[in-house]
Amino acid sequence: MGIVLGPNRYGKAETRVVRVTRDGDTHHIKDLNVSVSLSGQMEDVHLTGDNAAILPTDSQKNTVYAFAKKHGIGEIEEFALLLARHFVDETPTISHARVEIEEYGWSRIPGKSGHSFVRSGTEVRTALVHSDGTGGTGTGGTGNGESVISGLKDLVVLNSTGSEFHGFVQDEYTTLQPTTDRVLATAVTAQWRHRGVDAEFAKSFAEARRCLLEAFAETHSLSLQQTLYAMGRTVLETQHGICEIRLAMPNKHHFLVDLQPFGLENDNEVFFAADRPYGLIEGSVLADDAPDAPAAWT
C-alpha cells in the first residue's frame, strides 16, 4: 500500500484588523476578521519538513495589516481579492489563495462626535474569494481562476403572523400539531456567488440584503423551506450578476405557552422562544445557466 499526501492548505486564520480613516474630526472605521488559506508546492514541507516553499502564516497576518494601511479597506470583496492576488503573484510556490472575511458593522452614535460608534447588532457581512493570481487559468467559476462569493450571517428576522405549517408526514412519533398561524423566526446565513469578479459590491450587497428581507416579510409562508426558496429567487430575479445563492436558516421555534393553569386564554400572544434544538433548513437557489463552480464554495 502506498501513502500519498492529499489536498492541503495552510494560512493565518482570523486576523482581526480595525482600520480607522481620519477625515478631519470625522472618523470612519472598518472592523474585519480575515482568514487566509494558501496552497501550492507543499509536498516537501509535509514529507520532509523542508520549509523553503512556506510563506509563514505570520507574514500573511502582517500583510493584512500592511495592506490595511497602504491600500485602505474598501468593500471586503475587493480587499480579499487584493490579498489573494498578492499572495499568488508574489510567492512563486503559492498557486492558489483563499481569503475569507467577516465584517462587523459599526454605526455612528448621533451627536457632535465624529469618532463615536455603536456596533450594529449581530449581523455580519461576509466575503469568500478564491484566486489563482492575476495570471491564473484555473477553474474558479469566472473562467480566469477567480471567484467571489458575498454574503451575510446572523441576520435575525421574525414574522409574528403569516406563517402556517400543516400537511406534513405523520408517523408514530409525530406529536406536532398542524398550525395555520405561528411565529416564524430565523437567523439567516446567505452566500451568493457572482458571475464575475468586478461587481459593484456595495450596491450589490445592499440590494441582495433588501431582497432577502423583502421576500421574508412578503411571503405568506407554508414552510420555512418555501420562504427560503422565495428569498433566494427574489435575489436572483433582481440581480443578474449573481448566479447562485445558498441559504441556511435555523427555525427559531416559538412555542405557545399554556396559560390555562392560570385561567388565561393564549390567543397567539405569549410564546416561549426556544434556543435548541432547532430545525435547520438549508438550500441553494441557482440560475439555470449558472456556471459550475463547486470549488468556489470550499
Ligand X SMILES: O=c1[nH]c(=O)c2[nH]c(=O)[nH]c2[nH]1
Q: How many angstroms separate the first and last alpha carbons of the chain?
A: 29
Of 27, 57, 71, 238, catalytic: 57
Of 217, 245, 214, 241, give the one whose Cα is nearest residue 229: 245
Listed ranges 27-35, 71-79, 131-139, 221-229: which one lies at the site for ligand X (CB under 6 A): 221-229
Angle at CA of residue 106, ends 105 and 111, nearest 5°? 155
The reply on whether position 178 binds ligand X by CB under 6 A is no
Return the axis-axis angle of helices 201-218 and 224-238, rounded to nearest 10°.
140
Q: Which is nearer to ligand X, 159 or 204 (CB)?
A: 159
Binding segment (CB under 6 A) for ligand X, from list 13-21, 71-79, 220-228, 254-262: 220-228
For residue 143, state whether it binds ligand X (rule: CB under 6 A): no
Q: Does 186 bind ligand X (CB under 6 A)?
A: no
- Residue of 96, 194, 253, 254 marked active site: 253
CB-CB contact of 248 with 192 (8 Å): no
Nearest residue (CB) to ligand X, 174 versus 260: 174
Is 26 designated active site? no
**Nearest alpha carbon to residue 80 among 26, 123, 141, 32:** 32
279 binds ligand X (CB under 6 A): yes
Q: Is 176 in the site for ligand X (CB under 6 A)?
A: yes
Residue 221 CB, nearest approach to ligand X (Å)? 7
Cβ proximity to ligand X, 165 vs 201, nearer residue: 165
Query: Nearest Cα to 179, choosing from 160, 166, 170, 168?
Result: 166
Active site includes 234? no
How many CB atoms neighbour CB 23 within 10 A?
Answer: 8
- Nearest-angstrom CA–CA distance, 167 and 91: 58
Shortest Cβ 283–ligand X spacing (Å): 11
* Contacts of 27 by beta carbon, 8 Å cutoff, 6+ apart: 20, 21, 114, 115
Choose one: 15-23, 34-42, 75-83, 223-231; the region binding ligand X (CB under 6 A).
223-231
Residues designated as active site: 12, 57, 253
* Chain residues in the site for ligand X (CB under 6 A): 165, 176, 223-225, 251, 279
